[in-house]
């Protein structure tokens, strides 16, 4: 299974006048997915994003930048 942008797919299908397929997409079940914040973009990362590793301010552990946890919160644009 993979997540897709169903709205973008509907727009593409609409360009080709594929009304039957648009109905199928519109009727498809929706997955309740939770966005993930990676350590490199988390506001709790005490290291600069280009450092090559992340150090969490919550537990002081050093992790790979692609790691994530449920406490992750996206850093504000332009903020540290």
The ranges assigned to domains in the chain are 1-33, 34-80
H-helix segments, the chain: 6-15, 19-27
**Tens of each residue's pLDDT in the chain, 80 residues:** 788 899 999 999 988 889 999 999 999 998 888 889 999 999 999 998 788 999 999 999 999 999 999 999 999 876 55
Q: How far apart are alpha carbons 59 and 44 in whole angstroms?
A: 10
What pairs with residue 68 in β-bridges?
A: 38
Cβ contact 7:40 at 8 Å:
no
């Amino acid at each position: 299974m993979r997540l897709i942008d169903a709205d973008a797919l509907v727009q593409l299908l609409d360009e080709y006048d594929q009304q039957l397929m648009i109905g199928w997409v519109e009727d498809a079940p929706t997955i309740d997915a939770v966005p993930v914040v990676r350590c490199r973009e988390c506001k709790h990362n005490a290291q600069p994003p280009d450092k090559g590793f992340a150090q969490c301010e919550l537990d002081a552990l050093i992790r790979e930048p692609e790691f994530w946890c449920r406490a992750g919160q996206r850093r504000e644009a332009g903020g540290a």
